[in-house]
Structure 1
Amino acid sequence: MSSIEAVTVPKWGMTMTEGKITQWMVGEGDKVERGQEVLEIETTKVTNVVEAAASGTLRRIVLGEGTTAPVGALAGVIADTAATPEEIDAFIASYADRLGAGDEGDGGASVPRTIAVDGGVVNVLEAGPESDETVVLLHGFGGDLTTWLFNQSALAENMRVVAIDLPGHGASTPIAGDAVFPKIVSAAEAAIEAIAPGKLHLIAHSFGGAVAAAIAANRPSRVASLTLIAPIGLSRQMSRDFL
């Protein structure tokens, strides 16, 4: 029996709905190995590569370079030598029906929304099933909630996950006046309180680590776990060579 494998436009992040084919790294008739980078795709947030899901030969390029297509669209076909041109044609024809039925589509992209807090708004992106516990993702200085582009969707398969634009980042309102850090913590706490009742699992990077630690100190009964990735604020020293 012949083996035919699809190369599709993947879904990177909760808000992605389409991608632009920027480069095919292999040509029709080239042999590929499972895990080999075969295609580069650009979105509004990131440019990344697609790896082959199976070994075989790239028998057909369906979407040429420069084409923009929805998540789940068939970009190419990898098949073994036993697959006939007729079988590949039938596979391509059937794929449009699968995409239309939603089997390979984006499943409905999540849309960020703003939460009103003192002094402005905090932008959040929610994903995953309703739960009594929520994972909260806090990015570092100069970043935004797209820092967690490849993490949020994976975590949201089994848990409720909220990514936040800290004040002054992304679409969240900057903090005015003095005492900036306490105000950032207060605004983040207010947004979390509004959308994430129950226990919290805070995951934070760099500057967000300091914010998460402050939230945990302020509300110890609410925080079930604290995961800090290269956080600031836990030492009086810093690496000036790194800076």
Structure 2
Amino acid sequence: MSLIEAVTVPKWGMTMTEGTITQWMVKEGDSIAHGQELLEIETTKVTNVVEAAASGILRQIVLQEGTTAPVGALAGVITDATATQEEIDAFIASYADRLGSSEDGQAGAVAPRAIPVGEGVVNVLEAGLAGEEAVVFLHGFGGDLSTWLFNQAAVSEALHTIALDLPGHGGSSPIMGDDLLARIVAAVEAALLAVAPGRIHLVAHSFGGAVAAAIAANQPQRVGSLTLIAPIGLGKTMSRDFLTDFIGAERRRPLQGVLERLFADPSKITSDMVEGTLRFKRLEGMPEAL
């Protein structure tokens, strides 16, 4: 029996429903090795590459560069040397019939929801099966819950997961005034109690690390573990230039230059990411909250 392997539009993150083919890195007829980079896809959140799931020959490109297609769509076909064109045509036709019928399609996308708290709302994105324990992802200064789109998608395959926008970020209400950290922590604690009343495991980056550490200090019996990535409060130095430049950037080009400092590969930054960050920064009260 001939080997025929589908190359599909993957699902990166819990909210992704479609992607745009920006570049094929190989041509029809090329020999392909397992794990080789095949094509680049751009979403509203990220640009990333799709790797080959099998070795063989790229016999047919189905989605051309510039095409936008839903998650699960057939982008190309890898076969061994014995596969006939008739077999490939039948595979492509049968794959079109299956599109959207699996959990990888658009129906599998989830959406954030606003949880009322004492000082407004906290925006949360839940994924995975509800259970007695949950993994909670807390982003850093200037970020939002999409920081964790790859991590949450992977962890939610086995566990209940929650990513949230910290107050003053994303879809969460800003908090201003005195005793700021304590009030931000209280808002996050209230939101988490509403969606995950059991034991929680906190995974946090930068400013989110300070929030996570405060939650653990307030509720040691509730926090099962802390995973802190470059957290504020445990080191003697931080990039003050990044903070001031991020707050001060009011146009696309300066903001992109600031965001590039966060990426090992700045080419992964999409125009939608920059525009989305600008829209967030222009919301009423957000610059003051930052």
Q: Please state which band the TM-score falls in when normalised by the shorter chain.
A: over 0.9
For residue 60 of structure 1, what is the aligned residue in structure 2? 60
The residue type paired with residue 238 of structure 1 is: T
Higher helix proportion (structure 1 or 2): 2
**Cα shift at 1:239:** 5.1
Give aligned pairs, total: 242
Structure 1 contact 202–223 (Cα < 8 Å) conserved: yes
Q: When the two structures are superposed, what TM-score results if normalisation uses the length of structure 2? A: 0.80
Q: Is the 8 A contact 1:137 1:148 kept in 2?
A: yes
- 1:222 aligns with 222
**Separation in 1 of the partners of 2:181 and 2:20?**
39
State the partner residue of 1:8. Answer: 8
User: Gaps (5+ residues) in structure 2?
Assistant: 243-290
Tell whether the 8 Å contact from 1:32 to 1:55 is kept in structure 2 after alignment.
yes
8 Å CA contact 1:134–1:199 kept in 2: the answer is yes
RMSD (Å) for aligned C-alpha atoms: 1.6
Q: Is 1:164 aligned with 2:161?
A: no
Q: After superposition, give the CA deviation of every residue in 1:33-68 in whole Å (9 maximum; x if it has no partner).
A: 111111111111111110011111111011111111
| CA contact 1:2–1:83 (8 Å) conserved in 2 | yes
SS class of match (1:94): helix
CA contact (8 A) 2:100 2:106 kept: no
The residue that corresponds to 1:151 in the other structure is: 151
Aligned pairs for 1:152-231 (under 5 A) are 152-231=152-231
Which residue of 2 is the match for residue 46 of structure 1?
Answer: 46
Higher strand share: 1
C-alpha separation in 2, matches of 1:24 and 1:77: 13
CA gap 1:216/1:47 in 2 versus in 1, 3 angstroms: same
| Contact 1:98–1:104 (8 Å) recurs in 2 | no
Letter paired with 2:3: S
Contact 1:11 1:106 survives alignment (8 Å): no
Q: CA deviation at 1:120?
A: 1.3
For 1:83, the equivalent position in structure 2 comes to 83
Q: Distance in 1 between matches of 2:20 and 2:230?
A: 34
Q: Tell which deviates more after alignment, 226-235 or 81-90.
A: 226-235
CA shift at 1:227, angstroms? 1.1
Aligned partner of 2:22 in structure 1 is: 22
- TM-score, scaled relative to structure 1: 0.95
Give how far 1:147 is off: 0.7
Give ranges in structure 1 of 5+ residues lacking alignment: none
Distance in structure 2 (CA, Å) of the matches to 1:128 and 1:222? 20
Bigger shift: residues 95-104 or 62-71: 95-104
